[in-house]
Homo-oligomer: A and B are copies of this chain.
């Protein structure tokens, strides 16, 4: 076992875990099921992970690290706030749509009020938050985003909206085409709900 993280078995376990967790939920999933799905012995799981929770946490860390890495690469060559935000939304939807099992786990199983799980997950989620906040800040500098909007609150709206769209999509058994939501979500975040003609018409 030269390599733990990134090793063949390590990956197989994570891949098996997403499947099982997505199907049964974390608490109803059995370590033996994961092992079986991965085609290895029960005990082998514990050569690569400390315990069941560690599988869930590692799963998120691996995927989030990947997500953040590729997201950053995609955002590298964008210029305007508009492009950037749209690509961010699109990539988030794309990744989720590409791996519905992963999406299920992300939207449900990770939202646990469990110290170990939370501590393992939070730092990695915050990395994503930081990207969104950087996007907003850049938007401010470029004059696209209103200066008086607190960056953190803007991030909460952006992430909260995207996240809710994904949750609903998962709840509908991932039937719709998530990526097609990109444009409308983007428009809403940028322009808000208000019909600009309303003020002109004196409705305010």
Whether the Cβ atoms of A192 and B195 lie closer than 8 Å is no
Bin chain A's interface residue count.
35 or more
Tell me the A132-191 residues at the B interface (CB within 8 Å).
136, 139, 142-147, 149-150, 153-154, 156-165, 168, 171, 181, 184-185, 187-191
Q: Is the CB–CB distance between A184 and B149 below 8 Å? A: yes
A194 interfacial contact with B, CB 8 Å: yes
Minimum CB–CB distance for A192 against chain B, Å: 3
> Is A99 part of the binding interface, using a Cβ–Cβ cutoff of 8 Å?
no
* B-contacting residues, A102-126, CB 8 Å: 104, 107-109, 111-114, 122
B-chain residues with CB within 8 Å of residue A187 when the two chains form the complex: 149
Please tell me how many copies of the chain the complex holds. 4
Does chain B have a CB within 8 A of A201?
yes
Closest to A158 in B: B193
Label chain A's interface by main secondary structure: helix
Inter-subunit contact B192/A25 (CB<8 Å): no
* A161-B168 CB under 8 A given contacts A189-B192, A193-B146: no
Q: Is A28 an interface residue (CB 8 A)?
A: yes
Q: What's the least CB distance linking A104 to chain B, in Å?
A: 7
User: Which residues of chain B are near A82, meaning CB under 8 Å?
Assistant: 204
Task: With CB as the reference atom, state the residue of chain B lying closest to A197.
Answer: B143
For the complex with contacts A188-B192, A190-B193, 8 further pairs of A-B residues with Cβ separation under 8 Å are A27-B114, A139-B193, A146-B191, A146-B194, A153-B188, A154-B188, A157-B193, A164-B164
* 15 intermolecular pairs with C-beta atoms under 8 Å apart: A26-B113, A139-B193, A144-B195, A144-B203, A145-B193, A146-B193, A146-B195, A149-B187, A149-B188, A153-B181, A160-B161, A160-B163, A189-B192, A190-B192, A190-B194
